[in-house]
C-alpha cells in the first residue's frame, strides 16, 4: 500500500455561534485527502480527515513540511508487516527534523494527516475504524452503542437567559438526554439563571447538565463561579481557566468539590500529563477531553488512554472533544465515557452520519469502512471536491 498524493484545502466553517471567548464567524477548517494505490470495489482507497472544531485551517505547514516528508519517504519505510500503511511510522516520518516543544504549532496539521491515514488503512482492511482501533488496542470487538451528550447552550449576539431552554428542548426531542451549556459570556447572575433554566428542563437532575467556560476566567473569576456552581453538583465544570495555567487549575480543583473537565486545548501527551500531575485533576471524578486530530492523531490518543489507565484513569474518564466521526471511532473502539455532539451546528462539519439514530442518549457505533465520512452527505461532498480528479 503506497501513498500516491496528499491534498489539503481550507474551507469556511460558516457558523455565527459564540462561546464566552470568541465567535466562529471567521473560523476555517482544513480537509485532508490521502490518495493510495490500493483499490477496493474498483475505486482507489482515499483517506479523509479534517482538523476538527475550533482551530483554523493549517495547510501551510502541511504543504511546507509534513506532506513532502511522507511523499518523499521510501514507500517501504511507511508499511507494517502486512503491507498496509502504518500510521505510527508515518507519524515518526512527519516529525523528523522537528524540535521538541511547541506542539501546538504542529500537532493539528500532523494529527489531521495521521487521522486521514487511519481512514485509508481501515478502508483498505474493509473495517470500521472503531473496529480496527478496538482490535489493535483492546483485542476485542468495538462497542455496539456509545453514550453521547450535546455540546450546546451557545450564546447569540443578543443572548438572554431564556434562550437556552428553546435550544435544549430541540436536543431532547432529538433523543439526547445530557447537555452542556456555555457560561462566562454573561454576568454570573445571568449565567446561573441559564443553569437553573436548563436544570428545570432536564427534570432537576444535575448529572444531566455540564457547563463550559472555554478557558476565559482568571483564577479569581473561576473561584467565584466555582462557589456559585458547587451547590448544583453538575456533571462537570469545564475549562474554567487558560488550559496551560496548571497553578490556576490546581487552585480550582482544591476549592471545587464537583467534577472538572479539560483537554480540548492540550496538544501533546506532555500537556496532558502536566494537567494530571500539576493541575490538580482527580482520577476519581474529573474528565479529560482531548481532540484526536489536534493531539497528533488517533494512535497518540489511544496510547495516551492506555497509559493513563495504568495511572488510575478509567476509560470512562475520557470524553473526546469534536463532536464528529473521528471522535466517535475512538469512543466506540476504546470504550470511552462518551461522545460530544453538535447537532445542527458548524454546518457540514458538525454531527455524525445522516442515518445515525440517537435515542435515549446514545448512538450506534459506525458500521461503514474507515471513519465513515461517506455517511455524511454534505461533508463527504466537500471531501470529494478536494479529491477531484482522483475518483
d(Cα 175, Cα 79) in Å, to the nearest integer?
A: 42
Backbone angles phi, psi at 83, to 5 degrees: 90, 5
- Catalytic residue list contains 182: yes
Residue 238 pairs with which residues in a beta bridge? 212, 261
171, 182, 200, 380: the active-site residue = 182
> CA triplet 217, 218, 223: central angle to 5 degrees?
85
The SS3 assignment for 318 reads strand
Write down the catalytic residue from 123, 171, 178, 321. 321
Exposed e or buried b per residue across 190-222, where buried means at least 16 C-beta atoms within 10 angstroms of its C-beta: ebbbbbebbbebbeeebebbbbbbbbbbebeeb
Please report, in angstroms and rounded to a whole number, the separation of the first and last CA atoms in the chain: 17
CA distance 121 to 124: 5
- Return the residue matching grid coordinates 430541540: 170
Strand partners, 288: 262, 318
Residue whose C-alpha cell is 503491507: 83
By annotation, the residues acting in catalysis are 182, 321
Amino acid at each position: 500500500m503506497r501513498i500516491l498524493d496528499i491534498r489539503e484545502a481550507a474551507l469556511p466553517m460558516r457558523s455565527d455561534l459564540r462561546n464566552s471567548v470568541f465567535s466562529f464567524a471567521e473560523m476555517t477548517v482544513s480537509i485532508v485527502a490521502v490518495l493510495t494505490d490500493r483499490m477496493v470495489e474498483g475505486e482507489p482507497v482515499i483517506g479523509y480527515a479534517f482538523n476538527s472544531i475550533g482551530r483554523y485551517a493549517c495547510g501551510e505547514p502541511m504543504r511546507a513540511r509534513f506532506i513532502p516528508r511522507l511523499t518523499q519517504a521510501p514507500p517501504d519505510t511507511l508499511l507494517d508487516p502486512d503491507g498496509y500503511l502504518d500510521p505510527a511510522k508515518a507519524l515518526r516520518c512527519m516529525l523528523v527534523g522537528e524540535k521538541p516543544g511547541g506542539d501546538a504549532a504542529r500537532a493539528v496539521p500532523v494529527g489531521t494527516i495521521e487521522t486521514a491515514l487511519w481512514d485509508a488503512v481501515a478502508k483498505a482492511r474493509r473495517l470500521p475504524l472503531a473496529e480496527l482501533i478496538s482490535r489493535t488496542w483492546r483485542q476485542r470487538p468495538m462497542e455496539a452503542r456509545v453514550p453521547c451528550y450535546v455540546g450546546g447552550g451557545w450564546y447569540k449576539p443578543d443572548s438572554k437567559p431564556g434562550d437556552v431552554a428553546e435550544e435544549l428542548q430541540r436536543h431532547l426531542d432529538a433523543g439526547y438526554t445530557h447537555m452542556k451549556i456555555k457560561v462566562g459570556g454573561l454576568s454570573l447572575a445571568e449565567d446561573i439563571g441559564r443553569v437553573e433554566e436548563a436544570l428545570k428542563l432536564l427534570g432537576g437532575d444535575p448529572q444531566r447538565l455540564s457547563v463550559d467556560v472555554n478557558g476565559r476566567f482568571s483564577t479569581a473569576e473561576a473561584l467565584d463561579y466555582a462557589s456559585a456552581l458547587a451547590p448544583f453538583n453538575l456533571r462537570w465544570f469545564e475549562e474554567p481557566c487558560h488550559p496551560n495555567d496548571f497553578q490556576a487549575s490546581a487552585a480550582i480543583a482544591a476549592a471545587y468539590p464537583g467534577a472538572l473537565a479539560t483537554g480540548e486545548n492540550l496538544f501533546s501527551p506532555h500537556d496532558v500529563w502536566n494537567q494530571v500531575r500539576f493541575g490538580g485533576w482527580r482520577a476519581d471524578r474529573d474528565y479529560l477531553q482531548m481532540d484526536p486530530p489536534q493531539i497528533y492523531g488517533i494512535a497518540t490518543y489511544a496510547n495516551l488512554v492506555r497509559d493513563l489507565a495504568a495511572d488510575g484513569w478509567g476509560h470512562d474518564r475520557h470524553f473526546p472533544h469534536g463532536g464528529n466521526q473521528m471522535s466517535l471511532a475512538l469512543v466506540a473502539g476504546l470504550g470511552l465515557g462518551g461522545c460530544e455532539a453538535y447537532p445542527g451546528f458548524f454546518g457540514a462539519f458538525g454531527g455524525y452520519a445522516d442515518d445515525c439514530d440517537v435515542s435515549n442518549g446514545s448512538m450506534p457505533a459506525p458500521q461503514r469502512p474507515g471513519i465513515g465520512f461517506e455517511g455524511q452527505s454534505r461533508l463527504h461532498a466537500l471531501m470529494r471536491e478536494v479529491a477531484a480528479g482522483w475518483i
